Amino acid sequence: MEIEDGQGRAPAAYGVGDASYRAAGERPGITKLVDAFYRIMAERPDAQRILRMHPKDLSVSRDKLARFLCGWMNGPKLYNEKYGAIRIPHAHEHLPVGPEERDAWLACMEVAIAEQGYASDFAVYLLRELRVPAERIVEVSRDPVRRDA
């Protein structure tokens, strides 16, 4: 899983250096992904429960997710610059997130990723990597809704 760097250097594997950040289109591409993600969440019946966990005005949520993803993909640490340090699982531990909510979130992200026109190997890589923090959020949820247990 490599991308061309466009500057004559050897291709980099996703997850190495800023290769993932670049593959996602840097900040403009990540913002586009986040906008698609929240639009899809609003449209999908299976995502309404997680949408209701957000404030009505999604401006800050969109900003936080885009800034977080920039740093998470080894781009600039924009979340930290504006909001301070974050530990994703613990930032969500007060929410009732179980397997259904995790799966709905990932389903929305999967559709949003598919809309971006990313290289197929990057799309697969990104969704696979996003499963890790999504699962950690379920593990730390104080009131998990575990419908499959």
Residues 6+ apart with CB under 8 A from 93: 137, 140, 141, 142
How many domains does the chain contain in total? 1
Q: Is 74 contained in some domain?
A: yes
Q: Is 13 contained in some domain?
A: no
Q: Is 122 contained in some domain?
A: yes
Q: Is 10 contained in some domain?
A: no
Q: Is 121 contained in some domain?
A: yes
Maximum distance among all Cα pairs of the chain, rounded to whole angstroms: 51
Phi, psi of 3 (to 5 degrees): -125, 150
Q: Is 21 contained in some domain?
A: no
State pLDDT tens for residues 55-100: 999 999 999 999 999 999 999 999 999 998 888 887 888 888 999 9
Q: Is 59 contained in some domain?
A: yes
Which residues form the domain of 127?
Answer: 32-148
Domain CATH code at residue 139: 1.10.490.10
pLDDT score, position 144: 52
Q: Dihedral sign for Cα 126, 50, 103, 42, please.
A: negative
Q: Is 91 contained in some domain?
A: yes
